[in-house]
Amino acid sequence: MHEIFARFAENRHEAVKKWKQETGKKVFGYFCCLTPEEILYAADILPVRITGTGEPLQKADLHVPPNSCAFARSCLDAGMRGMYDYLDGVVVPNSCDIIFNMEFFWRTLVPRPTKPAMIAGVDIKPYVHYINYPEKITGREVVPYYVEVLKSFKQDLERSLNRPITDDDLARAVSAYNQDKSQMKRMYEMRKSDPAGLSGYEAWQITYSSLLMPKDKHAGILKGYLDELESNGHKAPEGVRIYLSGSAMDQVNADIYKIIEESGGQVVSDDLCVGTRSFWYPLNEELPPLEAIARRSLGTACPRSTVTDRIPENRWAHLLNTAKDFNIEGAIFYVLKCCDARLGEFPHLRDKLKTELDIPVLFLEGDYTSEGVEQMRSRVEAFIEMIEG
Amino acid sequence: MEEEKQVVTKGSQKSLEVARNAWKFIVQDYAEGHAHKKAGKPVVWSCALVEKELYHAMGLHPFYPEQFAALCAVRRKTPDSVKEAVRFARIAEQAGYSSDLCGYERVSTGFVLNGDLEDAPLGGMAPPDMLVTTSSVCDVRLKWFEDMAQRLNVPLFTLDRPERRFDGIMQYPKPHETRYYRSQLEDLLSFITEITGTKYDPDRLNECLDWGYKTNELRLEILELRKAVPSPMGCADGFATMYPGMYCSGTKKAYEFYRALRDEVRGKIKAGKGQIEKEKFRLLWYGIPTWFNMGIFNYFEPVGGVFAYEPAYNPHPWPPRNPKDPLEEIALRTMTIGSTMSTTIPALLEQCREYRIAGGVLAYLITCRAIYLPSLEIRRALEKELGIPSVLIECDLVDERTFSEGQVKTRMDAFAEQILKKHESGKSLNN
Amino acid sequence: MLYAGIDVGAQSVKAALFDGQKMVGSVCTVTEEAADEAARAVYADLLQGVGIQRQDVEKVWATGWGAADVSFADGKSSEQLCAARGARWLLPAARTVVDIGAEGCRVMKLTPEGTLEDFANNSKCASGTGSFIELGAVYLKVPIEEMGPLSLAAEGAAEVSSTCAVFAESVIISKIHEGETRARIAAGIHRAAATRIVELIGRMGFIEDIILIGGAAMNPGLAKALEEMTGVPLRVPENPRVVVALGAAIQASLKRSRRGKSAS
Amino acid sequence: MLVAGVDIGSATSKSLILDGNGIVAAHIIETGPESQESAEAAMAGALEKSRLRLEDLKYIVATGYGRINVAFAGDVITEISCHAKGVHFFFPKARTILDMGGQDCKAIRVDAEGNHVGFAMNDKCAAGTGRFLEIMASLLRVPLEEIGPLSLQATEDIKISNVCTVFARSEAARHLRRGVPKANILGGLHAATAERVFSLLKRVEIEPEFVISGGIAKNIGVVRRVEEKVGLRAHISEEPQIIGALGAALFARERAA
């Protein structure tokens, strides 16, 4: 594994702090892959994905009740403990019920580095930015609506940073993101072969680090690394080809990849926000940049979003295509307890996988602790053995 | 009501005649829905937060899975069997729906999976011609309706109300926000026309909106009247009488229902009568009620405690009627609602002052993230800002298996002792 | 040729010997010893009981929670797979295997040909396991082995609604106060456990024949409660605790012909 | 004036007789299946010790889980109020009380008069209750009174990730099977308990002085770990188990006056 990817994936806070110190640039944290991070990049800010610790809560347990997303609670706890004190701002999209509330919790509970600038009861230089992301992503007027939302986010940012964000800046960001997306796609393509070109864990490290590094830098290193792998014919260990679906996958629970591998399986593709969803959808460079960003963000098949009008099938479409392209033999759903969107769609997707594609499904309920992941081992073993026959 | 008694358990004692008769209204509405379907007319299953005037204007009879689930929480098939809500929830859980999911979702999904849509209280919900939902307030209603639409193979329409955030001051909806919502209303109307053939008639919609507006004004008036001391109308009455306003807004019958209710409340205030003889302290109920155990609303009466206010189904003031452009009016109405803690918590505190609340009972709904997430912050705000103690009642909305009676009683008793102690020591209870 | 299977659980270790046609011996021991030593001791008991030498055994196959620790095993397989193998060998018509141990309950679905098709485990809560009934016995002050027979004597059952094994105590005590008989409460405890198990069986589709194995299968009260709730007769083998160990032994016998995929 | 309090808990039943000067007698028995019988037996024990008869008592208050079923009590008051009252008798400066019984664990905040002004209780899962540790003690075959001291000998607290008592038991059994010393397993179980208890305490906002009562106060392993997290030394009553009955008796005195 490339040492830089490993460093960012396994020691995220230190790696980002070091980068910040070296470059003197600003760093913003964000929740969810729907965030229009391209706008941050255009403003010369490094967007980093906020994740939690998986440790028992120290502070957030007093504010957020237990029967809710353990990931979000842990993120907030990390914030309240000062682990994100190097952030210059935070972006919260309306990406699910609990993340929506993170806007309030983060704003009221996490110490901020800058003072608010209040005018008529409104903070004109907010530390926490809220993006009113639509929940139905295909409406007739959704693109103009969302472009307006992004415009006002851009304006807030310009005011806070005291600098303009020009169309050229945005175009530069769009192009840098596309370059990284194409390398990431290439990396996933390499996993279509049997055995896969990279292991699931390697792919996770590369994906996760892409959420913590400037995209141009990430794209450059990734290209070199993939070239090298191709030239020396690197292959991942052989195993039952697994599709991994589920909730946030960060350093706390990424051991699930290793457990699957140790049990004789290999994750070859996924439907994860730290996974395909973070890069799968390209930006159209022909369009005005804000619209391109809006369309990319709206094109993301997040389990929480809905397309509806008649019978909704976008979640199934992604699964169906992946299952065929990647020659999937089994699907593992690793869903965090109380993740409403995931839990609500699971029975339907499972039934379709079984009846239409004859792909067996294993459901694992996660609790966002590394011990919790380890407890899944025997079930994963049994599942893979079952597929081997 | 009488003949129903043996199958309805742990009902609440309501203090108002109109509230005691509300059940008849519900039975009647279900019967009308079934008759509507039998006559070959279209039926919609809708999320409770969609603007109902649209349905009445388009000739649809709506059924509401949320309300239906609550109905299942109070009914049993036979005196010996489990509550219908538990029966349906089990069916859903067996099919792989997590018990952490909203009880409304599990119950109505179980009802769909059960296959026989008539095998349910009040004859069930008539088979739908379409499903309509909204993204308002919680995520669950998106996935839940998507899932039911797929299982029933019935077309679905989703309205998206982006959750607006207010930073300090109430913001008027921006043009792009109302435009976005309005475009969806137009698309919803064409969706209905496509399925039913009924054309959109602005006059018909205006007529329904007139009834809706007048009904809403009455409900606001009643809410205002409820501030009286002693409390003339409690939470048991409030929850029992929310059906016409929540589910039949836009009809004459809903308007008439609230007119009778308003008159009764007025009369009670005039006579100086409260819910109970001697009112010692007034309580807030935060969240959706424990539908399977409505008797909880009378729990504190022996020690002089009454539930006086519940924010759950309360009406918001509507923007003025705009007969020239009723869709714009609806869009504006909907986009004015905010649901972030930044605004809901200060508003709740203000209401506690107005209704002279001495303590809060917070439904700590472990399966309803939208109501559950702010609970601890509300509890803290009540204590810090108003010095009001509160108690958390941990359970699901309709699934009584989550409710531990012994534990809840100990908590509520200790809570009452705390309030009464304050009362004895001469501290003002009614802020 | 002889094959041995060893099932290392959290509380007990089971071993079985299979000669390709029938089970020729089995042992079940409750032990606290470290996994490898415990497995060694139980294996020695097994061999001694049958009266054979170690070299007479062609292959030893491990399964269960501590399978990886059994140093002398030739390979290991999951409990789900072994349960399927063992149950199917005992009952060729089996399509659903319900394995209820002290802490865990799992249900396996088999194809008509007998291969493992799907399985479901109970997740984070212990209701629906042997422990739930065990703790119920403690609260009722009834020896655990009498719980099942006691519940069979009941007419109807008291409603034990608690889903937490520990909190069931207060429910049980209040039932006693309400004047419920111990038998009816015992029946209620079995029904409460069975409700959860039936949920898991339901997830696997209720396909007959259903075979009940694991330690809790020896409790006639639970079997009856399950039958009443599913409306389907359950088959209980003679020695339900060693079925998984037997399955491991059978697995060992099958492993010969497989494509060189030995235990890793 | 003689009054009494009876505390019918899920595990033990306690009675206590009080006169104008202080405690006259107290008695603890195991709770039987019938609350009324347990109450009578507990009361009889205290009466025997003090050579008194039931008629000598002017007022009796019942508390605890089985409080409703005590026929001879003049009034019933929840264990939360009674614990607050009882602790206040011994520690008038106490403002935060942790009471841990068999099935309940509660954090109570009290005012200067000993009235409870806020409380938090464990949720519907038994993790973090006394019963949790009892079940573990029997699994590890360590006498209940020894698990606390033994847990303090842990060289490392094994991480226990399961919140469900029954699953935690099998997790502990597995550690045992892997050769982990009992002390370290107990260390982990006590740490897990302390963690749960601490999160409850935080909900009432801990203020000095801090008192631990209930059966668990006898378990030094939990007490030390909770103290560490809270950052305060805890006061512990010598007979922590009778605090509830004492509070009930104090209420009885107020009622009788």
- CB-based contact, C77 to chain A, within 8 Å: yes
pLDDT confidence of D164, banded at 50, 70, 90? low
pLDDT confidence of A329, banded at 50, 70, 90? very high
Cβ pair A337:B97 closer than 8 A: no
D77 chain-B contacts, CB cut-off 8 A: 417
Q: Using alpha carbons only, give the angle B15, B19, B21 rounded to the nearest 5 degrees.
A: 120
Cβ pair B411:D121 closer than 8 A: yes
Please check whether residues D49 and D98 belong to one and the same domain: no
Question: For residue A121, what pLDDT is reported?
Answer: 75
CATH placement of domain A8-167: 3.40.50.11890
Q: How far apart are CA B59 and CA B43, in angstroms?
A: 9
Arithmetic mean of pLDDT, B238-259: 96
Question: For residue C143, what pLDDT is reported?
Answer: 85
Question: For residue D162, what pLDDT is reported?
Answer: 66
The strands making up B130-134's β-sheet, listed across from edge to edge, are B61-63, B43-46, B130-134, B156-159
> Going by DSSP bridges, is the β-strand pair A128-131/A118-119 parallel, antiparallel, or unpaired?
unpaired
Q: How far apart are CA B10 and CA B296, in angstroms?
A: 8
Please check whether residues D206 and D152 belong to one and the same domain: yes
Q: How far is CA D103 from CA A377, C74, D14, D86, in A?
A: 32, 46, 16, 20
Please check whether residues D63 and D28 belong to one and the same domain: yes
C38 chain-D contacts, CB cut-off 8 A: 177
Cβ pair B406:D119 closer than 8 A: no
Please check whether residues D85 and D99 belong to one and the same domain: no
Question: For residue D125, what pLDDT is reported?
Answer: 57
* CATH (domain of D191): 3.30.420.40
Listed in sequence order, the residues at least 6 apart from B17 whose beta carbon sits closer than 8 Å to its beta carbon are: B264
* Burial class, A313, CB count within 10 angstroms (exposed 0-12 / middle 13-18 / buried 19+): middle
Cβ pair D161:A57 closer than 8 A: no
Cβ pair D124:B418 closer than 8 A: no
Interface test with A, best of D122, D199, D228 (most A CBs within 10 A): D199
Q: Is residue B3 scored above 50 in pLDDT?
A: no
Cβ pair D202:A62 closer than 8 A: yes
- CB-based contact, B217 to chain D, within 8 Å: no
Q: Using alpha carbons only, give the angle A247, A252, A254 rounded to the nearest 5 degrees.
A: 65
Residue of D nearest to A55 (CA): D161
Arithmetic mean of pLDDT, B122-140: 94
Question: For residue B409, what pLDDT is reported?
Answer: 85
Per the DSSP assignment, residues forming a β-bridge with D203 are none
pLDDT confidence of A375, banded at 50, 70, 90? confident
Please check whether residues D206 and D247 belong to one and the same domain: no
**Using CA of residue D232, residue D238, residue D240, residue D243, what is the dihedral sign?**
negative
Arithmetic mean of pLDDT, C182-208: 87
Q: Is residue C49 scored above 70 in pLDDT?
A: yes
Please check whether residues D101 and D217 belong to one and the same domain: yes
Q: Per-residue pLDDT tens for B52-61?
A: 999 999 999 9
Please check whether residues D214 and D122 belong to one and the same domain: yes
Question: For residue B427, what pLDDT is reported?
Answer: 58
- Number of domains present in the structure of chain D: 2
* Burial class, C48, CB count within 10 angstroms (exposed 0-12 / middle 13-18 / buried 19+): exposed
Q: How far apart are CA B302 and CA B320, in angstroms?
A: 44
Cβ pair A97:B373 closer than 8 A: yes
The yes/no answer to whether this complex scores an ipTM above 0.90 is: no
Size of interface A-D (CB pairs under 8 A): 14
Please check whether residues D195 and D221 belong to one and the same domain: yes
For chain B, give the longest Cα–Cα distance: 68
Arithmetic mean of pLDDT, D218-225: 89
pLDDT confidence of B353, banded at 50, 70, 90? very high
Residue A53 has which token pair? Answer: 């610790």
Nearest CA among D121, D71, D107, D97 for reference residue D246: D97
Tally of CB atoms within 10 A around B54: 26
Q: B165-169, B368-372, D103-107: lowest mean pLDDT where?
A: B165-169
Listed in sequence order, the residues at least 6 apart from B113 whose beta carbon sits closer than 8 Å to its beta carbon are: B91, B92, B95, B151
Tally of CB atoms within 10 A around B311: 17
D134 touches D144 (CB < 8 A): yes
Which residue segment(s) compose the domain that D12 sits in?
A: 1-91+241-257
Cβ pair A365:B98 closer than 8 A: yes
**Using CA of residue A45, residue A46, residue A50, residue A54, what is the dihedral sign?**
negative
Please check whether residues D230 and D245 belong to one and the same domain: no
Listed in sequence order, the residues at least 6 apart from A84 whose beta carbon sits closer than 8 Å to its beta carbon are: A29, A50, A78, A90, A110
Question: For residue D124, what pLDDT is reported?
Answer: 56
A56 touches D225 (CB < 8 A): no
Residue of B nearest to D106 (CA): B411
Size of interface A-B (CB pairs under 8 A): 167
Question: For residue D143, what pLDDT is reported?
Answer: 87
Across C91-101, b (16+ Cβ under 10 Å) vs e yields beebbbbbbbb
Question: For residue D163, what pLDDT is reported?
Answer: 63
Please check whether residues D99 and D217 belong to one and the same domain: yes
Question: For residue C144, what pLDDT is reported?
Answer: 82
- CB-based contact, D161 to chain A, within 8 Å: yes
- CB-based contact, B428 to chain D, within 8 Å: no
Nearest CA among A144, A148, A34, A43 for reference residue A91: A34
More confident position, A77 or D122: A77
Q: Per-residue pLDDT tens for B354-371?
A: 999 999 999 999 999 999
Question: For residue B102, what pLDDT is reported?
Answer: 95
Q: A3-12, B354-363, C250-259: lowest mean pLDDT where?
A: C250-259
Q: Is residue A74 scored above 60 in pLDDT?
A: yes
> Going by DSSP bridges, is the β-strand pair C105-110/C96-100 parallel, antiparallel, or unpaired?
antiparallel
Q: How near does any CA of chain C get to the CA of D32, in Å?
A: 9
Q: Which domains does chain C have, with CATH numbers?
A: 1-90+239-264 (3.30.420.40), 92-236 (3.30.420.40)
**Helices B84-94, B65-74: crossing angle, 10 deg rounding:** 120
Please check whether residues D26 and D128 belong to one and the same domain: no
Q: Is residue D20 scored above 90 in pLDDT?
A: no
Nearest CA among A363, A345, A348, A368 for reference residue A248: A368
Tallying the residues shown for chain D, one arrives at 257
Q: Is residue D127 scored above 70 in pLDDT?
A: no
Tally of CB atoms within 10 A around C217: 25
Domain ranges of chain A: 8-167
Q: How far apart are CA C79 and CA C86, in angstroms?
A: 10
Please check whether residues D198 and D220 belong to one and the same domain: yes
Cβ pair A382:C81 closer than 8 A: yes
Tally of CB atoms within 10 A around B176: 17
Q: Using alpha carbons only, give the angle D158, D126, D40 rounded to the nearest 5 degrees.
A: 125
Question: For residue A185, what pLDDT is reported?
Answer: 96
Nearest CA among A219, A216, A236, A217 for reference residue A227: A219
Question: For residue C259, what pLDDT is reported?
Answer: 39
More confident position, B128 or D184: B128
Interface test with C, best of B10, B86, B94 (most C CBs within 10 A): B94
Q: How far apart are CA D142 and CA D138, in angstroms?
A: 6
D126 chain-C contacts, CB cut-off 8 A: 164-167
Q: Is residue B431 scored above 50 in pLDDT?
A: no
DSSP state for residue A56 in the 8-state scheme: P
Cβ pair A382:C124 closer than 8 A: no
A57 chain-D contacts, CB cut-off 8 A: 199
How close are the terminal C-alpha atoms of chain B, in Å?
Answer: 38
Cβ pair A340:B139 closer than 8 A: yes
Q: Is residue D61 scored above 60 in pLDDT?
A: yes
A76 chain-B contacts, CB cut-off 8 A: none
Q: How near does any CA of chain B get to the CA of D97, in Å?
A: 15
For the CA atoms of C163, C169, C171, C175, the dihedral, rounded to the nearest 10 degrees, stands at 140
Per the DSSP assignment, residues forming a β-bridge with D118 are D109
